[in-house]
Amino acid sequence: MTSNSTEQGVKEKISFQLTSEIIRHRLKSEGERFHANDNISDYIFPGELETLQEEVEMRVKELLKSLLIDIDNDHNSQDTAKRVARMYLNEVFKGRYHKQPNVTDFPNARNLDEIYTLGPISVRSACSHHLVPIIGDCWIGIKPGDKVIGISKFARVADWVFSRPHIQEEAVMILADEIERLCEPKGLAILVKAKHFCMCWRGVKEPNTSMINSIVRGDFRHDPSLKQEFFELVKQQPNGLACN
């Protein structure tokens, strides 16, 4: 075999591989983690998201067949696999497969150092244990540093971070890391209050329970009065912490 035909053979072999196998190989050879709440967009090359979607569609079809749903004759289920694949990759889990939305930072020209709070920002996720929705509200408190970002960008970044399978505690940590990376605030506080469908739709079937968790960093961590101010500001807002 000439080296050319060997190369051709390798290419053919690769072309028969599933897209997920190719991407997984890439991730593993770089030693990159690919847990449910990791973003892997740097390892997905142009055109691969489309073939990955076809692969997921094929797998969802198999899942529906194993659930003994007659996808050939049930008019409601015929295109379900296609819809679910598209929804996973481009909507509800887009934060895994798509790159972070563009966020431009600006210098904090007036050296603003008063804290401000944003919220509620709607967040939607899915629990990584059952893949059912987690839906809630998020509040963000910032004590600005040298850089600032537009307030709508917080909502875009939160949407991108939460659009992955998660557990709530890790989602909040990842969001905090991303915001710190983007605008390097002197202090950051995040609070999330969310309903978990794995508690209200299945399991204990308790529809009124919310989970609230928060994270405080920088000056919010070191200065109890600042932390207090953040929680007071959140409480004053509609849909704030009054647990109803």
Query: Cβ 230 to Zn ion, closest distance in Å?
Result: 29
Residue 45's closest CA among 19, 11, 10? 19
Query: Cβ 114 to Zn ion, closest distance in Å?
Result: 39
Query: Cβ 107 to Zn ion, closest distance in Å?
Result: 43
- In 48-109, DSSP assigns E strands to 105-107
**Beta-bridge partners for 210:** 195
The pair of structure tokens assigned to 34 is 């690919």
Site string for Zn ion, 79-108 (x = CB under 5 A): ------------------------------
Characterise 214 by phi-psi region: left (phi > 0), alpha (psi -120 to 50), beta (else). Answer: beta
Task: Tell me which residues in 120-159 interact with Zn ion (CB under 5 A).
Answer: 127, 129-130
Size of the site for Zn ion (CB under 5 A): 4
60 binds Zn ion (CB under 5 A): no
Specify the stretch interacting with Zn ion by CB under 5 A; choose among 11-19, 99-107, 181-189, 193-201: 193-201
Query: Cβ 176 to Zn ion, closest distance in Å?
Result: 22
Q: Give how far Cα 23 sits from Cα of 30, 36, 166, Å.
A: 11, 15, 21
Do residues 175 and 158 make contact, with C-beta atoms less than 8 angstroms apart? yes
* Residue closer to Zn ion, measured from CB, 45 or 201: 201
* Residue closer to Zn ion, measured from CB, 50 or 169: 169
Tell me the residue number closest to Zn ion, measured at CB.
Answer: 198
- In 44-201, DSSP assigns E strands to 105-107, 116-127, 133-143, 147-149, 165-166, 187-196
Chain centroid to Cα 59, Å, comes to 22
Query: What residue type is 164 in one-letter code?
Result: R
* Residue closer to Zn ion, measured from CB, 35 or 99: 35
Query: Cβ 35 to Zn ion, closest distance in Å?
Result: 15
Residue 57's closest CA among 93, 82, 25, 24? 82
Query: Cβ 129 to Zn ion, closest distance in Å?
Result: 4
198 binds Zn ion (CB under 5 A): yes
Q: Contact residues for Zn ion (CB under 5 A)?
A: 127, 129-130, 198
